[in-house]
Chains A and B, each alone.
Chain A
Amino acid sequence: MALVAAPEILSPYYRSLALAILADVALAVSWAFFSGPSRYLSLATGAFFGAGAYVTAIAGARLPWPLPVLGGALIGCAMALVVGALALRLRGPYFAVFTFGLAELAKHSLIWYETGVTGTVGRLILAPPGPWTLYYTVLCLAGLAVLTALLLRRSRWGYALAGIGADEERAETLGIDTTRVKIGTFALSAAFMGAVGAAMAPRWTYLDPQVFNPFVSFQTVIMALLGGATTVAGPIIGAVFLGLASEILLLKFRYFYMLGLGLTLIVVVLALPSGLSGLAARLRASPSPLPRPQP
């Protein structure tokens, strides 16, 4: 409720901070509901986000507001279907490398296309919707992402996905159509990412191919892992935590912040495999000091 009423009482600065954090929540939650249980490490978030943003940049002025967001969702979904069909056969780090290459490939192809064919470098976003509209759009998306994650967890698809993460061959032997479950969930998460990209694009008045930013992919992964990728609350906690940290640190100490982010990732991987939410659960379970990570 507080989040719905927020734009009424918040100053523009805090409204925009809340907007950024909600977008992070939507990204991290939709990343985690696919990659968390399935253990397929996707670094394609930046690609879907960028594609969505470009939908708003190209068609935003001609379509009434919620339509570009829908278009972003569709394009993200379509990209994921193609990429998923090609790449979800790859296991382990190959899938991660492939999806990481996707954002870079999209960026460089777009730069090449824009400079060679259309003769522009970037695009202006004309007639952006008002800040409140944006806020409620992103709030809806974040809410929908959380709802999807909750529903998915308790559904047959959710269990199937977890089965794939535990042992894909066994899941297949048990009669799960692994390809359909993987591609379907991947496309659903990509739809959210595209929609968030489309909804966040009006925040910049000028958009260039740099919006296909691998940093978006990494930040999403770090948020989800920091909070704990296999729970629903984890990615939300991680996104709020890092969203606030980046807001405070990013502008003043840009490089220190990014350096800290790298260290955070290393520490999380080494010492907190189940994230902050896992840590909280362990603390509740045992009042004794934490067991040291086994060297």
Chain B
Amino acid sequence: MNPTLLVDIVVGGLITGGIYALVALGLNLQYGLMRVLNVAHGEFLMVGAYLTYSLHTAWGVNPLLTLLVTGPASFGAGLVLHRLLYARVLAAGEAPEALESRSLLLSFGLLFVLQNAALLIWSADLKGYSYLSIPFRFLGSVFPANRLVAAGVALAVSVAFYVFLKRSFTGKAIRALMQDPEGAQLAGINLSRVHGLCFGIGIAMSAVTGSLISMLFELTPFIGLPYTVTALVVVILGGLGNVVGSLLGGLILGLVETASVYLTASDIRLIASYGVLSLILILKPSGLFGR
């Protein structure tokens, strides 16, 4: 293997992996804390991508600045959705399995709603724009600058969240609830409030990733689901509720996928993802580094 190919695979893999890590982190936060498997997670990514596209093409807003819109807007949407849908199901106080199934069905409903709303608003045609697609040379390989920027922002947000979780008071409350919901509530932590906050943060992460992705790829209303699957694989790979696991899992999956595409020269990406997901579920349902 020549060194340029190696750089291609490693840097390319880390770029893809950084983006995966951020999507997966959002999903993991929702599942790890609330046991809500949000299969509509990727749809929020899709909506975020379209918002950035619309803001950029209609008013010429810099795509990176749109993060300041998509982030807070999707956070707010997450708070509202949690209040309207998930809080009701979670408050019903059923057996955990029935609860998980119902919240899963809810998010499938959301998936349909968001995807078809996007089809009505933006149509099924490919949409895209060009931003920062200037070549950037690195150790003999060439990468478009927009990919480096996107991956850099994604990693920065992930690390910032990690620091928030470790250092801030709210972060401590979140970790306490993940460890022991009853004990944390006895210590005076408001469960519903933290749930809503985390649901919002999770969705904001997905939407922000979408904004970043819109700089790299063309959009259709169907781009969401593959990212949901990828995020699921990463979450299960890294362990439920394990933030560092999600970060590492995302980077690993990015590297593996990039290598498989470079080395086999065919697009077996989705088959590989579903294959890995099925294998892990069968062999070790609690995840590779699972508790």
Interface residues of A (CB under 8 A from B): 39, 41, 86-87, 89-94, 96-98, 101-102, 104-105, 108-109, 112, 116, 218, 221, 225, 255-256, 258-259, 261-266, 269-270, 273, 293-295
Contacts and interface: CB of A to CB of B under 8 A. Distances in A.
A266 B86 CA distance: 10
Interface bin, chain B: 35 or more
B105 A265 contact: yes
8 contacts: A101-B274, A105-B274, A108-B274, A262-B112, A262-B116, A263-B113, A269-B102, A269-B105
B37 A93 contact: yes
Given A259-B120, A261-B112, A262-B112, A104 B274 contact: yes
B281 A269 contact: no
A92 B268 contact: no
B97 interface: yes
User: Interface residues of A: mostly helix, strand, loop or mixed?
Assistant: helix
Nearest to A261: B112
A275 B6 CA distance: 56
Contacts of A256: 116, 120
B277 interface: yes
Contact of A96 (B101, B111, B114, B285): B101
Contact of A262 (B100, B109, B270, B285): B109
A100 to B, nearest CB: 8
A97 B285 contact: no
B98 A266 contact: no
A109 B97 CA distance: 31
A238 B79 CA distance: 32
B101 A93 contact: yes
A32 B155 CA distance: 44
A105 B278 contact: yes
A109 B271 contact: yes
A122 to B, nearest CB: 19
